[in-house]
Amino acid sequence: MFACYEFLYRGPALLYVQQTIAAWCASHECVLEATSLLEGARFRVSGRKDAVRHAIQMVPVWIRRAA
C-alpha cells in the first residue's frame, strides 16, 4: 500500500532539510518531490505506507536540526 505526505518548509537551512529528506528517502525506498516557492519549499514524500508514516514522525526532527 502506498501513501504520500506533503508539508511546507519556510525556515532556515532549506538546502539542508531537502538533502536530509532526500538521503532518508533513498535509504527507505521513498520518493521526494520538492517544489520551490517564493519563500521556502513544498515537500512531498511518497512510498510505502509504513515508510511515509515514519517520515511524518521524522519531520520535526529534521526541522529542529536545521534550526
Q: What is the pTM of this model?
A: 0.88
pLDDT digits (tens, 9 = 90+) for 24-60: 999 999 999 999 999 999 999 999 999 999 999 998 9
* CA-to-CA separations, 5 to 21, 36, 62, in angstroms, rounded: 12, 17, 15
Superfamily of 2-66 according to CATH: K Homology domain, type 1 (3.30.1370.10)
Q: What is the pLDDT of residue 67?
A: 77
Q: What is the pLDDT of residue 1?
A: 86
Residue spans per domain, the chain = 2-66
Q: What is the pLDDT of residue 65?
A: 86
Predicted confidence (pLDDT) at residue 15 exceeds the cutoff of 80: yes
Task: Confirm if 50 and 7 have CB atoms less than 8 A apart.
Answer: no
Q: What is the pLDDT of residue 63?
A: 87
